[in-house]
Amino acid sequence: MNVKIHSVKFDADRKLLGFIEEKVSKLEVFYDDIMGAEVFLRLEKDTQERENKVVEIKLDVARSPLFSKKQSKTFEEATDQSVDAIRRQLLKHKNKLRKN
């Protein structure tokens, strides 16, 4: 699967990029027909809790793209939450296709 990672208005380090690519690539275990993924990393304006790291994942699958956006204190935590949300969407999508 081709994973494209875009860090908006900052440069992400290689360790973070490797972590994200590894997590997103594991989604292929749940669904075979994933054509690609785009991940956007953003820094929102500071809030008091400092939960200003945003991860958006757009997954290209047959018939309909899947999308998840999560915000957290760290990019790693936001990535984990976003991947979990996409995984649940993939399983629902897979079940829908089986029923048809």
In the chain, the number of structural domains is 1
Instruction: Say if CB 41 and CB 19 are below 8 A apart.
Output: no
- Token pair 């054509």 is found at 35
**CA–CA separation, 31 and 64 (whole Å):** 13
For residue 38, what is the domain's CATH number? 3.30.160.100
Per-position pLDDT tens, the chain of length 100: 899 999 998 999 999 999 999 999 999 998 888 999 999 999 988 666 678 899 999 999 987 899 999 999 999 999 999 999 999 999 999 898 888 7
Alpha-carbon dihedral of residues 50, 8, 65, 74, nearest 10 degrees?
Answer: -30
pLDDT of residue 48: 66
pLDDT of residue 44: 87
Domain residues for the domain of 7 are: 2-99
Compute φ and ψ for 84, nearest 5 degrees: -60, -40
**CA–CA separation, 32 and 59 (whole Å):** 12
